[in-house]
């Protein structure tokens, strides 16, 4: 089996489940060469991914969670600053605590009514057309609007920020030179305006709260705010979108599941949503760096080695899931780790679940007879998985 988990070609039609299956069976902690780097360990079994993600004492999130990230590796990305996603406890714990209360299950549920109203508005905008790009016009709208509302920004700005996220998450080789850096710069330029606006007119929103809160007895400085802003906009955008469009695509490929789900949508949605999370696993990987020598899956890991956790592979591991290659919407036991686990386990997962449920209820409740109007185009990324564009035809119920 040819293994290449770097080339965007391997991800051109979704995640390379054939390669993952081979690796889980024959070489679950696999040494993977890198053309322009020192190589990395590809971890593909559920138990190993779970163990690495929780063992922050051995596997650090710094200096970066990307396989190739020269600026972060050389310490020149943001000077002495880093995003919370790249921190380890106890620093990580202190930063996460600043925003944790906004993302608890009860806090997320307080937003449920508003999210449902946004879902209605999004479907209203396409329902009479009979055809749309499901990614841009439906799935992408929800996370863009929700992050804008959370931060206290105009909804249209959320859409623009989301386009920048998409560029940031695209493999550099699939972009014009410098485009990724320019997108980050634009995001920072926008967030700098947010700092001025929210300092002048603080409101009841997350941006104002972040500017007012303290870490180690002092206020966050501008760069710390910019990095939080980038993380929140980045983390919740194309992940949620890809779950929704990847989920609909999976249902279109198995039309019999549509009828089963819509027969009793409210009751069947929770299990179905978890199964779609397992099935699509929008975050392909997170990288860690060994802080000390360790043994993993019988392999000797050396201090400084890159160790990459493949969530999409873990979520198809036959040791953990019965019939892992079958999309089983009623799956009762579902220990998927699409949201990761351990100290960095997705902070937005309660909110994401509410967004997903609201959209699926609107889409499946009001639209029917979905079919692809053109072949699906996948994101050219080895980091975030999902359709880039998915033109669909449908009927109004």
Q: Strands 59-60, 285-290: parallel, antiparallel or unpaired by DSSP?
A: antiparallel
What is the closest distance, in whole angstroms, from the C-beta atom of residue 142 to ligand HEM in the complex? 9
Strands 218-219 and 29-32, bridge-based pairing: unpaired
Q: Give 30 or 336: the residue with its C-beta nearer to ligand HEM.
A: 336
Q: How far is the CB of 225 from ligand HEM (least distance, A)?
A: 14
Stretch of 19-27, 256-264, 344-352, 388-396 contacting ligand HEM, by CB under 6 A: 344-352
Per-residue binder mask for ligand HEM (CB under 6 A), 304-333, x = binder: -------x----------------------
Q: Tell which one of 283, 294, 296, 363 touches ligand HEM (CB under 6 A).
A: 283
Give CA–CA dist 382/3, Å, rounded: 13
Question: Which run of H or of E encompasses 290?
Answer: strand 285-290
CA 370 to chain CA centroid, nearest Å: 25
Q: Which of 222, 344, 363 is nearest to 283 (CA)?
A: 344
| Residues 112-151 as x/- pattern, contact with ligand HEM by CB under 6 A | -------------------------------x---x----
How many Å apart are CA 201 and CA 198, to the nearest integer? 5
Q: Find the shortest distance in angstroms from Cβ 276 to ligand HEM.
A: 9
Provide the pairing of β-strand 214-215 with 285-290.
unpaired
Secondary structure class of 389 (helix, strand, coil): strand
CB of residue 115 to ligand HEM, shortest distance in Å:
11
Candidates 154, 270, 304, 345; binder of ligand HEM (CB under 6 A) is: 345
- Per CB under 6 A, the list member of 138, 227, 249, 338 interacting with ligand HEM is 338
Nearer to ligand HEM, 45 or 127 (CB): 45
| Sign of the CA dihedral running 10, 233, 103, 115 | negative
In the bound complex, what is the minimum distance in angstroms from residue 233's beta carbon to ligand HEM? 8
Q: Which stretch binds ligand HEM (CB under 6 A): 38-46, 211-219, 255-263, 343-351?
A: 343-351
207 counts as binding ligand HEM under rule CB under 6 A: no
| Distance in angstroms (rounded) separating the CA atoms of residues 10 and 19 | 9
Q: Are 5 and 270 in contact (CB under 8 A)?
A: no
Distance of alpha carbon 15 from alpha carbon 17, whole angstroms = 6
Of positions 340, 386, 387, 391, contacts ligand HEM by CB under 6 A: 340
Distant-in-sequence, close-in-space partners of 32: CB < 8 Å, separation ≥ 6: 3, 5, 6, 39, 40, 41, 42, 308
Q: Is 360 in the site for ligand HEM (CB under 6 A)?
A: no
Chain residues 223-262 in contact with ligand HEM, contact rule CB under 6 A: 231-232, 235-236, 239-240, 243
Task: Choose the stretch contacting ligand HEM; rule: CB under 6 A; options: 183-191, 296-304, 345-353, 371-379.
Answer: 345-353
Using rule CB under 6 A, residue 347 touches ligand HEM: yes
Report 71-90 residues binding ligand HEM (CB under 6 A).
84-85
Give least dist CB 241 to ligand HEM, A: 8
Residue 103 DSSP symbol: G
Q: Per rule CB under 6 A, is residue 352 in the interface with ligand HEM? A: yes
* Strand partners for 393: 131, 371
Q: CB-wise, 21 or 85, nearer to ligand HEM?
A: 85
Q: CB of 93: closest distance to ligand HEM in angstroms? A: 9
Residue 16 touches ligand HEM, criterion: CB under 6 A: no
Q: How far is CA 220 from CA 197, 227, 234, in A?
A: 16, 11, 20
Taking the least distance from each CB to ligand HEM, the nearer of 229 and 339 is 339
3-state DSSP call for residue 357? Answer: helix
In this structure, the strands spanning 299-301 and 377-378 are unpaired
Angle at 318 between CA 317 and CA 321, to 5 degrees: 85
Q: Which residues of 380-395 are buried (b: 16+ CB within 10 A; e: fewer)?
A: bbbbbbbbbebbbebe
* Cβ proximity of 287 and 59 under 8 Å: no
Number of chain residues interacting with ligand HEM (CB under 6 A): 29
- Distance, in Å, from the CA atom of 142 to the CA atom of 323, rounded to the nearest integer, reads 32
For ligand HEM, the closer CB: 140 or 348: 348
Tell me: does residue 286 bind ligand HEM (CB under 6 A): yes
Which residues in this chain contact ligand HEM in the complex, by CB under 6 A? 53, 84-85, 96, 143, 147, 231-232, 235-236, 239-240, 243, 282-283, 286, 311, 338-342, 344-348, 351-352
């Amino acid at each position: 089996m040819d293994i290449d988990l770097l080339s965007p070609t391997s991800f051109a039609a979704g995640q390379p489940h054939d390669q993952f299956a081979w690796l889980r069976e024959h070489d679950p902690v696999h040494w993977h060469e890198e053309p322009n780097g020192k190589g990395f360990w590809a971890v593909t079994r559920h138990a190993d991914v779970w163990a690495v993600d929780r063992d922050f004492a051995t596997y650090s999130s710094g200096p970066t969670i990307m396989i190739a990230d020269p600026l972060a590796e050389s310490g020149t990305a943001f000077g002495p600053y880093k995003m919370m996603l790249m921190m380890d406890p106890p620093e990580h714990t202190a930063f996460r605590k600043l925003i944790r209360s906004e993302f608890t299950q009860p806090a997320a549920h307080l937003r449920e009514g508003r999210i449902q109203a946004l879902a209605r508005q999004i479907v209203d905008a396409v329902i009479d057309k009979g055809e749309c790009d499901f990614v841009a016009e439906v799935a992408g709208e929800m996370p863009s609007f929700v992050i804008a509302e959370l931060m206290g920004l105009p909804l249209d700005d959320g859409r623009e920020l989301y386009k920048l996220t998409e560029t940031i998450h695209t493999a550099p080789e699939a972009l014009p030179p410098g485009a990724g850096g320019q997108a980050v710069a634009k995001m920072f330029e926008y967030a700098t305006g947010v700092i001025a606006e929210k300092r002048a007119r603080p409101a009841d929103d997350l941006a104002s709260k972040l500017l007012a809160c303290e870490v180690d007895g002092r206020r966050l400085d501008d760069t710390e705010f910019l990095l939080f802003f980038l993380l929140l906009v980045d983390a919740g955008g194309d992940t949620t979108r890809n779950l929704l469009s990847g989920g609909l695509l999976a249902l279109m490929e198995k039309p019999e599941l549509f009828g089963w789900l819509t027969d009793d949508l409210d009751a069947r949605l929770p299990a179905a949503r978890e199964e779609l999370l397992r099935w699509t696993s929008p975050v392909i990987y997170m990288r860690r760096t060994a802080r000390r020598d360790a043994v993993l899956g019988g392999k000797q890991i050396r201090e400084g080695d890159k160790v990459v956790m493949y969530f999409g592979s873990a979520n198809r591991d036959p040791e953990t899931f019965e019939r892992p290659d079958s999309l089983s919407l009623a799956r009762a036991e579902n220990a998927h780790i699409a949201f990761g686990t351990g100290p960095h386990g997705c902070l937005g997962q309660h909110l994401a679940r509410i967004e997903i449920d609201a959209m699926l209820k609107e889409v499946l409740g009001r639209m029917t007879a979905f079919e692809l109007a053109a072949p699906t185009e996948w994101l050219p990324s080895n980091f975030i998985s999902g359709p880039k564009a998915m033109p669909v035809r449908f009927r109004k119920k």
